A and B are shown apart, each in its own frame.
Chain A
Amino acid sequence: GNSVTQMEGPVTLSEEAFLTINCTYTATGYPSLFWYVQYPGEGLQLLLKATKADDKGSNKGFEATYRKETTSFHLEKGSVQVSDSAVYFCALSALEEGSARQLTFGSGTQLTVLP
C-alpha cells in the first residue's frame, strides 16, 4: 500500500534560517505529491504539489522537487519567517487532482520560527 514518512518534529528555527522538512514515500504506480500546511486554529491548506517526476512545486517561497529515484519530496525554504510557524503535512495521491479517497498523509511536522 501507499505510505508517507516525514521528518518528526518539532522543528524550531530562527527567523531567516534555511528550512528542510524531509518526506519520503512508498507507492505503487506514479502518485502525485503534495505539501499541506495547517496554521494554528485553521484547516489544512494546499501549499504546493507536483504531479510527475522532476516536477518542482513552489509557493510562498517554499519548494519541493518530486524525486522518483529517491522516492522523496523534501520541503525547503531559503529564509523562514515567524508567520511560517505551522504544521506541515506531506501527502500523496494516486490521482492527479488528489481525490480524497487516495490521499495518504504523513504524520505532520510542527515548525516554530522564533524572531
Chain B
Amino acid sequence: GAVVSQHPSWVICKSGTSVKIECRSLDFQATTMFWYRQFPKQSLMLMATSNEGSKATYEQGVEKDKFLINHASLTLSTLTVTSAHPEDSSFYICSARHHAQYFGPGTRLTVL
C-alpha cells in the first residue's frame, strides 16, 4: 500500500530556533499534501493544503509566515516552524493524496 514517511519522528529545540519537518510519499506521487496539527486528546486540525509547484493554502487562524510550507516535488513537502515558541509544541501530521488519502506517522515537536 501507499506509504507516507515523516522526518524527524520527534524533535526538541530551543525557543527562537526554526525546525523543518519533511513529509515524503515513498511509492507514489502526490500532487496534494496536507499538514495537520494535533494537541493531546484533541482532534487533528488541518493547518494547510499544499500543491506541488504552487503556494500553500492556509486554514483560517494559521500564520503563514510562521509555518512555512514548501511542496518542491511530487514526493516531498516540508513544514518549517520558524522562531519556534513553547506554544508551538505539538504533534504534526502530514497526509498525501493519491486517489485516497494516506497519512504519515507524525512528528512530535517540543520547544523548550
A100-B34 contact, Cβ under 8 Å, with A41-B105, A107-B42: yes
Chain A 30-73 against B: per-residue CB contact (8 Å), 1 yes, 0 no? Answer: 00000010100111111000000000000000000000000000
Task: With CB as the reference atom, state the residue of chain A lying closest to B59.
Answer: A101
Find chain B residues with CB under 8 A from A105 CB: 43-44
Chain B 10-32 against A: per-residue CB contact (8 Å), 1 yes, 0 no? Answer: 00000000000000000000001
Q: How large is the interface on A (under 10, 10 to 19, 20 to 34, 35 or more residues)?
A: 20 to 34
For the complex, give the distance between the alpha carbons of A49 and B108 in Å.
Answer: 28
Taking chain B's interface residues, is the majority helix, strand, or loop, or is none over half, making it mixed? strand
Chain B 75-112 against A: per-residue CB contact (8 Å), 1 yes, 0 no? Answer: 00000000000000000010101001111111000000
Interface residues, chain B, with chain A CB atoms under 8 Å away:
4, 9, 32, 34, 41-44, 46, 49, 93, 95, 97, 100-106
- What are 21 A-B pairs with beta-carbon distances under 8 A? A36-B103, A38-B103, A41-B9, A41-B105, A43-B4, A43-B95, A43-B103, A43-B104, A44-B93, A44-B103, A46-B100, A89-B44, A100-B34, A100-B46, A100-B95, A100-B101, A101-B49, A103-B101, A105-B44, A107-B41, A108-B41
